[in-house]
Homo-oligomer: A and B are copies of this chain.
Amino acid sequence: MKFTAQQIADALHGTIEGNKEVSVSSLSKIEEGSPGTLSFLANPKYTAHIYNTRASIVIVNNDFVAEKEIAATLVRVKDAYSAFADLLEMYQQSKGKPSGISDRAYIAPSATIGKDVYIAEFVSVGEHTVIGNNTLLYPNTTIGNNCKIGNNTTIFAGVKIYEDCVIGNKCTLHAGVVIGADGFGFAPQQDKNYQKVPQIGNVIIEDNVEIGANTCIDRATLGSTIIKKGAIIDNLVQIAHNVEIGENTAVAAQTGISGSTKFGSNCILAGQTGFAGHLNIANGTIVTAQSGVGRNIKDENTIYEGSPAFNHKDFQKSYIHFRRLDGLVKRVNELEHKLKKQSSE
């Protein structure tokens, strides 16, 4: 299929700059664009590429100001990244979805299966579990007893969901995700053995949540570990028992959250961050990569950095001095030397 710049501009409610008649048949990255492809510019780091990209059409933000001539036709929109996401979505939907129930799947007799599902080979669905309509279960996935999976949810290959857990509508769980393993709860005994504390709660994942590959979300000791609607969680993240992740909170890869810590809405946790247990973290908190938070955060919309973390700007000041610490020590040496000399004069 081919689309002209005019057709694309119409679909995205954008305006055209350049040749309206040029047409494209596929998508490309701006730095690798070739004739007949459509690309986009959103991240300023890639601005230099727009002046020599071979892509035929580039979607840009309305406020983009060209500093040189551009060969490509531009389509200006309010938000180039979102507009491009829309195009990708159209492209992906055109590919269709798998469907049907494999006779190599195992579905417990008491399970309830919705309409238009895909249940692939080697999927195991436990007793009394409910699978919603239009939901996709890829191969080698295990869903335990008494689970409830919503509608229009995609569960990729090899996901493991323990008994009693609840997954909402329009969720995506990537391959290897583990939902509902036991929280890490042990009572130390006088003989230094650990007594296991059984974990009888569950995990509740609300609607529109995405969970990355091999991420683990433990069941609650009592009650529920909760991932609220719209949260997005990357790969290899550890979420311990009784944690709550707020609405539209983003958790980047390899972050670890200890037991019972609760996040407000719209937080952003960068990669490899860590959180102690039993904390409350305010709405809109941002934590920079590799930082570790050991205390409650009460002020909303603040940025934290360091391990242990404190205010981001203060950390950066301290860190600049840390890098120059050798110079500071030399200055103190010098001061001592001068003062000693003075006093001996």
Is A121 an interface residue, CB under 8 A from the partner? yes
Binds B, one of A8-16, A57-65, A66-74, A195-203: A195-203
Q: Is the CB of B196 within 8 A of A29?
A: no
> Shortest beta-carbon distance, A85 to chain B, in Å?
4
Interface of A is mostly: loop
Q: Which residues of chain B come closer than 8 Å to A271, judged between CB atoms?
A: 238, 256, 258, 274
Q: Is the CB of A232 within 8 A of B124?
A: no
Binds B, one of A17-25, A109-117, A128-136, A182-190: A182-190
Partner of A140, one of B84, B124, B216, B218: B124
Is A336 an interface residue, CB under 8 A from the partner? yes
Q: Which residue of B lies closest to A81 (CB)?
A: B187
Q: Is the CB of B278 within 8 A of A45?
A: yes
Q: Which residues of chain B come closer than 8 Å to A32, judged between CB atoms?
A: 223
Known: A181-B174, A182-B174. A326 touches B318 (CB 8 A): yes
A-B contact pairs, 19 of them (CB 8 A): A28-B223, A29-B223, A43-B278, A85-B185, A88-B199, A92-B200, A120-B124, A122-B122, A122-B140, A158-B160, A160-B176, A172-B182, A216-B253, A272-B292, A274-B289, A276-B289, A289-B307, A328-B332, A338-B339
> Shortest beta-carbon distance, A276 to chain B, in Å?
7
Q: Which residues of chain B come closer than 8 Å to A144, judged between CB atoms?
A: 157
Is A142 an interface residue, CB under 8 A from the partner? yes
Q: Using a Cβ–Cβ cut-off of 8 Å, how many residues does chain A contribute to the interface with B?
A: 113
Q: Is the CB of B274 within 8 A of A200?
A: no
Is A152 an interface residue, CB under 8 A from the partner? no
Copies in the complex: 3
Known: A253-B240, A289-B292, A307-B290. A200 touches B27 (CB 8 A): yes
Q: Is the CB of A187 within 8 A of B138?
A: no
A194-226 CB mask vs B (1 if < 8 Å, else 0) is: 111111100000001010111010100111000
Known: A85-B197, A122-B124, A162-B175. A232 touches B139 (CB 8 A): no
Per the bound structure, the CA–CA distance linking A325 and B193 in Å amounts to 39
Per the bound structure, the CA–CA distance linking A200 and B85 in Å amounts to 11
Known: A85-B196, A178-B176, A216-B214. A318 touches B314 (CB 8 A): no
Known: A121-B124, A142-B138, A336-B335. A212 touches B196 (CB 8 A): no
Per the bound structure, the CA–CA distance linking A172 and B252 in Å amounts to 27
Per the bound structure, the CA–CA distance linking A304 and B17 in Å amounts to 45
Q: Which residue of B lies closest to A307 (CB)?
A: B290
Q: Is the CB of A106 within 8 A of B122?
A: yes
Known: A181-B235, A193-B208. 4 other contacts (CB 8 A): A192-B265, A256-B272, A274-B289, A322-B325
Per the bound structure, the CA–CA distance linking A314 and B342 in Å amounts to 32
